[in-house]
Structure 1
């Protein structure tokens, strides 16, 4: 990789010098003005967008409106259900386990407007049951928050056949499509909102997260599709792209248990290629996940709230701090060969080169 970068750099220097000389020779006044106008237009457009956002903050009245949230057992879903209840919405909180701690906590701290419903987004009958209950309530469905998701962190060829891919896609993308299609007639009536939770991983593919990255990229694409196809329906589609946050999805112990299980299901030939000690490689890289994960999830919850209550929400909310904006969104636009090199450097730094001894 380093030798290739050195060779590329040798071509970069003369290319840069040649381009600069060409610009210098073709440097009439009109061309300078054209460049300046382009640059100022980009800056002005960016500023206008933020002024528009700051000065157009009218909010909708939450009374009598239903918001359906999937994946409320923990994390983003659990917290957004609580916050929406505090704002006065009628919250339909979909959970996998109605009797577990997450659901019980919502029952205890929320009003009677909040309903806990068994909802596995991979099962059409459970989605239909929830939609029917919303219809029976006589209240409009104002927003659908497609939050339910799972994460698995293993190499692309681990697991039995394509079982790992199927499991991740069933929840993270097919579940989103299923819930959205089922709720769309009600959302058209209310001219409401669809809030899809994607991820920075939908833009920047990181090592051993291919299944998750593929699914979250599909969520982005699906959001763009339904936003453009329903542009005259009054329904607004909002996409969230959180960076890394400390939720059950990034829980290291849960990820480790899943890795061991998936490795045991992997074909023996592939197991021999990696070796049993390769599992220790992940243990060394887990501190990287912990370091990048924000402890507070308020940035994501606030973005969800804005998408639901603002009359003019953003199309995309990129949830993270300024370091995240540079590390993830800016870096994701780098040339792929440099991006591959930087990601390899980051992983090697945390593993201190131990993986080289295992192959």
Structure 2
């Protein structure tokens, strides 16, 4: 890897010198004016976008409008259901377990406008049942929040056959497509909103997150597709790209138990390749990464609300602070060879037990 980088750098030097000389030779006044016009056009376009965003903040009236939210048992779904109820929407909160704590808390603190509905996004009959109840209400479906998701963080070859891939794809992408297709006739009627929760992982593929990254990349592509195919329907499609937030999907203890279960189901030959200490090193490294989580879900919840209530929402909301922008989105634009080198170092820390150097 390092030898390849050295060779790449050798090509970089003459390329840089050549392009600089070309620029220097083409420095007449007309070229300077062209560069200035291009530069000012970029700055002006950027300023125009932010002025448009600042000066077009009209909101819609929530009364008599339904918002369907999937995955309300905990995390983003649970909190956005509560906040939307406070704003005056009729919230249809889809949950896996209607009698568990998350659903019970929503019942206790929300108004009668909120309805808890059993909704497994991997089952068409449950999705159809929810859509039918929305139709029978006589109110328009204003927004669909595709929030339900699962995360499994293991190397790509762990598990039995493709069981891990199937489980993650069934919820994170096929569930999103299934619910969106079922709700689309109602959303066309209301000229409403689709809020798809992707992730920073849809742009940056990190070690051990392959299954999750693949599905979130699919969510981003699906959002782009339906936005362009329905551009004349009045339906707006908004994509959220959160960084690391404290939800059940990032719960360290849950992920650890799941990882151990999948490792036990892995073929013995593959387990020998990874060795006995790999799991412990894996868990220790992930516990360090978990320190990058935000303490609150507010950045994501506020972005969801903006996508639902603003007359002119953004197409994408990147939910994070300046550190996230630097660590995740900025490095996602690095050349793949540098990214491979970066993640190779992280992989070495894990497999050789050098994680203590991160302290």
Class of the TM-score when normalised by the shorter of the 2 chains: over 0.9
The aligned residue for residue 176 of structure 2 is 176
Structure 2, unpaired ranges of 5+: none
Distance in 1, Cα, partners of 2:7 & 2:292:
33
The aligned residue for residue 71 of structure 2 is 71
For the aligned residue pairs, the C-alpha RMSD in angstroms reads 1.4
Distance in 2, Cα, partners of 1:306 & 1:150:
24
The aligned residue for residue 115 of structure 2 is 115
The aligned residue for residue 341 of structure 1 is 341
Distance in 1, Cα, partners of 2:342 & 2:41:
32
TM-score (norm 1): 0.96
1:354 partner SS? coil
Distance in 2, Cα, partners of 1:203 & 1:110:
36
Distance in 2, Cα, partners of 1:13 & 1:347:
30
**Mapped pair 1:283 → 2:313:** no
Residue 166 of structure 1 and its aligned partner are, at CA, apart by 0.6
The aligned residue for residue 23 of structure 2 is 23
1:79 partner SS? helix
Distance in 1, Cα, partners of 2:319 & 2:145:
16
Residue 348 of structure 1 and its aligned partner are, at CA, apart by 4.9
Residue 45 of structure 1 and its aligned partner are, at CA, apart by 1.1
**Mapped pair 1:232 → 2:235:** no
Cα offsets for 1:114-162 (capped at 9, x unmatched): 0000000000000000000001111110000000000000000111111
Residue 287 of structure 1 and its aligned partner are, at CA, apart by 2.7
Structure 1 runs of 4+ off > 6 angstroms? none
Is contact 1:285-1:347 (8 Å) kept? no
Residue 347 of structure 1 and its aligned partner are, at CA, apart by 5.2
Residue 68 of structure 1 and its aligned partner are, at CA, apart by 0.3
TM-score (norm 2): 0.96
1:196 partner SS? strand
Is contact 2:117-2:130 (8 Å) kept? yes
Is contact 1:278-1:355 (8 Å) kept? no
The aligned residue for residue 134 of structure 2 is 134
2:237 partner SS? strand
Distance in 2, Cα, partners of 1:22 & 1:293:
46
2:155 partner SS? coil
Cα offsets for 1:103-122 (capped at 9, x unmatched): 01101110011000000000
Residue 10 of structure 1 and its aligned partner are, at CA, apart by 2.2
Within 5 Å, which residues of 2 pair with 1:58-207?
A: 58-207=58-207
Residue 346 of structure 1 and its aligned partner are, at CA, apart by 4.5
Alignment CA distance shift 1:352-1:178 (3 Å): closer
Is contact 2:121-2:127 (8 Å) kept? yes
**Mapped pair 1:49 → 2:49:** yes
2:285 partner SS? helix
Distance in 2, Cα, partners of 1:162 & 1:353:
28
Is contact 1:68-1:143 (8 Å) kept? yes
Is contact 1:239-1:316 (8 Å) kept? yes
Residue 18 of structure 1 and its aligned partner are, at CA, apart by 1.7
2:142 partner SS? strand
Distance in 1, Cα, partners of 2:25 & 2:230:
50
Is contact 2:278-2:351 (8 Å) kept? no
Aligned residues: 355
Alignment CA distance shift 1:33-1:348 (3 Å): farther
Distance in 2, Cα, partners of 1:227 & 1:59:
21
The aligned residue for residue 255 of structure 1 is 255
Is contact 1:250-1:289 (8 Å) kept? no
Is contact 2:67-2:144 (8 Å) kept? yes
